[in-house]
Structure 1
Amino acid sequence: MKLDVKNIFKKIREFIAKDIQLKCGFYGIILLLLVVIFASGLASHNPYDFGPDILNRIGQNGHLLGTNNMGQDIYSMIIYGTRTSLKVAVISALISAAIGTLVGGIAGYFGKNVDQFVSEIINIFMMLPTFFLILLIIALFGNSIVNVMIVIGLTTWPSNAKLMRAQALSLRERTFVKAGTAMGESRLQILFKYIIPNGIFPVIANTTVGMSNAILTEAGLSFLGLGDPNVISWGQMIYSGKAYITSAWWISTFAGLAIVITVIIFYLLGDGLNHVLNPKRIGRGGA
């Protein structure tokens, strides 16, 4: 069975045109990507510079959103923090999607003892308190941004695995899969040629939502002081500004708003993709 990619992209364009939720998510992501690409041009100051203007209010001395206790420009830190958040979101979600897709596809397609064994592993991971596990791993191996991205990806794959497993259980009974088996194709060929490509769509939608969860997780770690001190992060901005919340509220407030807006954008996009990439809506294509 061949994927009708043109038909899928056509349906996505149609949904973007008429679905306000997906449209907001799509254009929101475009806006975030533009901020990431043109961050150096959009920022009014170098966010890593410590200046003499300490705790300046909004608009004071040319600082659009004020400064923090170290004299750093809040507006520029928000702009550069977008890079950190999107990097964490994309890389950790891709790690989660890759592991979940492979594990779920193997469990669902091979079935029997393999499915039972893998399902038990998935259930064990889903029962673990993920955030506390992340805290433990970060405490043991360090809080660099690379470690944060990897550990988030390695602890959030079970939901993708369950989705892919459900798709594989259904797809392995389809005629085109049985035809591939009859033609002598190996199990691995069928898995990567038919099962995963045709069952990946719910995983894509779930991965998009998972990006928002990754942003929240990184912000939570940074707020607890476990983020990477060498990069600018919205969570770290909230952490550093909590001591000045009554006298310099702008340090934490704007970083918190940036997190909320970004998470909402990813949720809107993920939920919209969940509608458009629903297997029942996608054309079956030709055999």
Structure 2
Amino acid sequence: MKKLSIKKIWKTITGDRQLLAGTIGLALLLLLAVAAAAVATENPYHYGKDMLVGLGENGHILGTNHMGQDIYSMIIYGIRTSLKVAVISALISGALGVFIGGIGGFFGGKVDTFISELINVFMMLPSFFLILLIIAMFGNSITNVMIVIGITTWPSNAKLMRAQALSLRERTFVKSAVAMGETKRQILFKYIIPNGIFPVIANTTMGMSNAILTEAGLSFLGLGDPGIISWGQMIYTGKQYITSAWWISAFAGAAIVVTVLVFYLLGDGLNHVLDPKYSRKRG
């Protein structure tokens, strides 16, 4: 049974090119993040004597910045920061969206009206400027950045979950559970959320790319955590040397583009395979 399940998952992944490309890309990113200490040639936090050294000079594959830090090693360690931000902020966003949207769609009535208006209010707010305000008020630690990104991006997940809950509460198996005397809380967590969460999973995965871009944007504006290696921070520090030491910003920018593309492909691929129409088409 276990082998059949693994075989089915593998067949699903290989059956969609975008999902396959995203899965391979994510696997490589995770591998590099876990083995960063072994893959990196130097300590990225170490300030060396080789300042603004070009590509391949003095053993520096991608050169160094104005502080003598090895760019290649910084890129490798930056993967950890981006993945951490993407996963944790997406989990916060997904959990809030599923819980709030599920309650609104399942209970309906005044509860649904209130939650719908709350979602609309949050969706009308300029989220990036709200993030800037909260970071300015509570500090720019990486923990604050992840929490703020998570609590400002939940409305899209809530809308998806609400729509699923509105549909699922009319299904026969849910009405049967009500007739059998199961509580509303049991029905919500046992039937509504598990059966309606799939579109949210796909949307949350695609939202990870936005979380990476948001963190990079904050770091570029000088509002990121100065105690970590961040690609956005690398672009910010390298912009003044763009004509003489282009590699400082260029490779960090390329890393952001590739990572965002990986999560986009993964999310879009999941959106394909979790769509019932796609499943019927595949047979």
By how many angstroms is 1:15 displaced?
A: 3.0
**Counterparts of 1:75 and 1:262 in 2: how far apart (Å)?**
16
By how many angstroms is 1:160 displaced?
A: 0.2
Instruction: Identify the residue that residue 121 of structure 1 maps to in structure 2.
Output: 118
Q: 2:131 aligns with which of 123, 130, 134?
A: 134
Instruction: Identify the residue that residue 88 of structure 1 maps to in structure 2.
Output: 85
Asked if the contact 1:201–1:279 (Cα under 8 Å) also holds between the matched residues in 2, the reply is no
Q: 2:188 aligns with which of 165, 181, 191?
A: 191
**Counterparts of 1:235 and 1:262 in 2: how far apart (Å)?**
13
Q: Secondary structure at the match of 2:33?
A: helix
Instruction: Identify the residue that residue 152 of structure 1 maps to in structure 2.
Output: 149
Percent identity reads 74
What amino acid is the match of 1:95?
I
Asked if the contact 1:12–1:276 (Cα under 8 Å) also holds between the matched residues in 2, the reply is no
Instruction: Identify the residue that residue 77 of structure 1 maps to in structure 2.
Output: 74
By how many angstroms is 1:135 displaced?
A: 0.3
**Counterparts of 1:91 and 1:279 in 2: how far apart (Å)?**
28
- Structure 1 residue runs of 5 or longer lacking an equivalent are none
**Counterparts of 1:7 and 1:111 in 2: how far apart (Å)?**
40
What amino acid is the match of 1:192?
F
Q: How many residues align?
A: 279
By how many angstroms is 1:281 displaced?
A: 5.2
By how many angstroms is 1:277 displaced?
A: 1.1
Q: 1:101 aligns with which of 98, 106, 111?
A: 98
Q: Secondary structure at the match of 1:44?
A: coil
**Counterparts of 2:265 and 2:192 in 1: how far apart (Å)?**
28
Any idea what the Cα deviations from partners look like across 1:185-210, whole Å, max 9, x if unmatched?
00010000000000000000000000
What amino acid is the match of 2:264?
Y
**Counterparts of 1:8 and 1:192 in 2: how far apart (Å)?**
24
Q: Say what the alpha-carbon RMSD is for the aligned residues.
A: 1.6
Instruction: Identify the residue that residue 223 of structure 2 maps to in structure 1.
Output: 226
Asked if the contact 1:8–1:282 (Cα under 8 Å) also holds between the matched residues in 2, the reply is no
Instruction: Identify the residue that residue 208 of structure 1 maps to in structure 2.
Output: 205
Instruction: Identify the residue that residue 168 of structure 2 maps to in structure 1.
Output: 171
- Structure 2 residue runs of 5 or longer lacking an equivalent are none
What amino acid is the match of 1:189?
Q
Instruction: Identify the residue that residue 268 of structure 1 maps to in structure 2.
Output: 265
Q: 1:54 aligns with which of 47, 51, 73?
A: 51
What amino acid is the match of 1:91?
I
TM-score after normalising by structure 2? 0.96
Instruction: Identify the residue that residue 248 of structure 1 maps to in structure 2.
Output: 245
Q: Which has the higher contact order (CA 8 A, sep 6+)?
A: 1
**Counterparts of 2:53 and 2:202 in 1: how far apart (Å)?**
42
Q: Secondary structure at the match of 2:86?
A: helix
**Counterparts of 1:13 and 1:201 in 2: how far apart (Å)?**
18
Any idea what the Cα deviations from partners look like across 1:218-268, whole Å, max 9, x if unmatched?
000000000000000000000000000000000000000000000000000
